[in-house]
Structure 1
Amino acid sequence: MTSEGDQRGRAAEQLWAAWRDGYRLDAVAAADRPGDLAEGMAVQLAVETLAGPGYGWKIAATGPGGQAFLGVDGPLAGRLLERFQHQNGDTVPADTLHMGVAEAEFAFVLGADLEPAEVRSVDDVLAAVGAVHLAIELPDSRYERFDQVGGPQLVADAACAGRMIIGREVREWAEVDLVRHPVSLRVGPAAEHGSGELVLGDPRKALHWLAIELPRLGTRLRAGELIATGSTTKPLPIRPGDEVVADFGELGTVRARIAG
């Protein structure tokens, strides 16, 4: 008789093999496929045991457009893996560009663990924040048709986590109106403009959502973790050789080049 742990492990092996070797899955094998978001998270955390340590989380589908495109009715939580973390100005390998887009994001770093029983309001969560950074996300998926596999399989695949470029710290972040602060994303001559309002109405509310959602899925937020809260503009297409610039005005810029 096959146990849930066996199914979880096999699903994780399928996803990590596709991630590691650069090929795409139609779907997780039917016998091993997660049936709900909690099962998807269990697979996601099993992928981490194969891929190496994580350092935080990303939130996908934080706007109605992204949710409609992916066929989900709410945001999704994905683990960020250390091996795919980059710093401002890095040249990033062009090996995970199946989705082929870039996003400009606000990323919170926790200064303390968040105990689920203590998370009631946005202020409860903000009290645990130690820093805010500017970031560029290059999301990706291990599914050929990631818009058709559904929420549980997307969560199993770390909610389309790819590479993350971490920029400067915003020291006076508590005084910044993250909802209205203008953000521009540029890739070559193409540009998109937006603000934190596109991130569930407020990036801080997105962080609060994650603090509530993760315990429902069997895990929680911990001190030192970075949480990328979602795209502040419409994503822009990227190709090998492109330079990506996320401009947060007076707060600073984040840059990355896609290897040619």
Structure 2
Amino acid sequence: CLPAVSGQTVFGWKIAATNPTGQAHIGVDGPIGGRLLASQIIAAGGSASMQSNKMAVAEAEFAFRLAHALPPRDEPYSEAEVLAAIGSLHPAIELPDSRFADFATAGAAQLAADNACAHLFVLGDAVTADWRTLDLAAQPVKLIINDETVTTGQGADVLGSPLSAMTWLANQAALLGEGLQAGQVVTTGVCGSPCPIKADDHIVADFGALGRVSCRLTA
């Protein structure tokens, strides 16, 4: 498995293609889960290298950190059970990439083997507002590059809501016999559209009252 081969800890999980825009971007018709390794995590406000990144896009995403494990089991997890296991909500930026030069025609099976295009991930601070009382599906999100808003979206973009996407991943991980561990982070997919980026760009994912997170791109 990936942790054994890489010799790294699994920091968390990502979900690719949780909306039609994301699906069209990589040429699939449904979501794909992948793992985030410890070496792929960029500190909030930090620098992320664009070296060898062929996909060259940024995505604004809702991410959750688990307070309690969701181990494998036969019965699917409900959204209420998944919500109860979540410890915190975070604004996040994903900088995906693929080993396939023509990733849009690689196909779902190959992209799953490609770890769902996991590459670099920027995790913002935990949201301090009482987000559990909010309708995350209606929460507006925008991605800002070099002080210009380049895409807008909302939580409903990811399988109807970030919690729905999180529940999908919890059940996929259970089917794989792994489950999700306490402390792991799950990023739930792009809100709005994946947006082209280049070295020296300054990226901000703005979640309104829920906060924002940023990074600077280097060559």
- TM superposition score category, shorter chain reference: over 0.9
Letter in 1 for 2:78: S
Question: 2:219 aligned with 1:221, yes or no?
Answer: no
Task: Select 2:66's aligned residue among 104, 110, 113.
Answer: 110
Letter in 2 for 1:52: Q
Query: Would you say the 8 A contact 1:194–1:233 is kept in 2?
Result: yes
Structure 1 counterpart of 2:167: 208
- Aligned residue pairs, count: 216
Secondary structure of the 2:102 match is coil
C-alpha deviation, 1:120, in angstroms: 3.1
Question: 2:115 aligned with 1:155, yes or no?
Answer: no
TM-score (norm 1): 0.79
Unaligned runs of 5+ in 2: none
Q: 2:170, 2:211 → 1: CA distance? A: 27
Q: 1:228, 1:176 → 2: CA distance? A: 18
Identity rate, percent? 44
C-alpha deviation, 1:48, in angstroms: 5.4
Structure 2 counterpart of 1:235: 194
TM-score (norm 2): 0.93
Give the helix-richer structure, 1 or 2: 1
Structure 1 residues 68 and 192, CA, compared in 2 at 3 Å: closer, same or farther? closer
Secondary structure of the 1:239 match is coil
Q: 2:48, 2:107 → 1: CA distance? A: 29
Q: 2:172, 2:33 → 1: CA distance? A: 8
Q: Deviations over 1:112-166 (max 9, x none)?
A: 1113336431001111111111111101111111111211211111100010011
Secondary structure of the 1:215 match is helix
Letter in 1 for 2:165: A
Structure 1 residues 114 and 68, CA, compared in 2 at 3 Å: closer, same or farther? same
Report the more deviating stretch, 115-124 or 102-111.
115-124
Letter in 2 for 1:113: A
Task: Select 1:80's aligned residue among 21, 29, 36.
Answer: 36
Structure 1 counterpart of 2:45: 89
Structure 1 residues 48 and 181, CA, compared in 2 at 3 Å: closer, same or farther? farther
Structure 2 counterpart of 1:8: none
Structure 2 counterpart of 1:191: 150
Secondary structure of the 2:174 match is helix
Q: Deviations over 1:188-235 (max 9, x none)?
A: 235211111101110100000011112223321111100000111111
Question: 2:137 aligned with 1:179, yes or no?
Answer: yes
Q: Which runs of 4+ in 1 moved over 4 A?
A: none
Letter in 2 for 1:249: G
* Structure with the larger RCO, 1 or 2 (CA within 8 Å, 6+ apart): 2
C-alpha deviation, 1:92, in angstroms: 1.1
Structure 2 counterpart of 1:63: 19
Secondary structure of the 2:68 match is coil
Secondary structure of the 1:143 match is coil
C-alpha deviation, 1:83, in angstroms: 0.6
Give the strand-richer structure, 1 or 2: 2
